[in-house]
Amino acid sequence: MIWKVKKIGVWPMGNLGPNGWEGPKYDPLNHTLLGWEAGAVQDRKYPIDNGAFCFHSDLLGKLLIGPKYWPTDFSGGESEFIGLMVKTKEEIEPICYNCHVAWHNEPLPKECTDLQLCG
């Protein structure tokens, strides 16, 4: 799945936010983006954890120009980093739709295997 990403791919991250998840929420029938679950900082354009996105390496040197690739000097900065590569939320590519397979700073629970929905 990750190998097919053209710009930015995202998935929900567990152990974050008031509802336990942070990341995109999709309509289960037509897979359109409904909104975002945000963690501690609610006003981010792209509320995504560092461990919940990937990007195509061709963007390094094209859209991301060094020597400083990370756009902030403060903790976090994921939203700002993603904003360097996409201008709208519609450009973000879902790796899965409403899946619950990644947990922040914890291993996957034993009852969750493969791409089962856990929650």
In 10 A of CB 63, how many CB atoms?
13
Per the annotation, the verdict on 78 as an active-site residue is yes
Q: Where are the beta strands (DSSP E) in the chain?
A: 8-10, 13-14, 21-26, 33-37, 53-55, 93-94
In 10 A of CB 81, how many CB atoms?
20
Which of 78, 91, 93, 106 is the catalytic position? 78
Active-site amino acid positions = 78
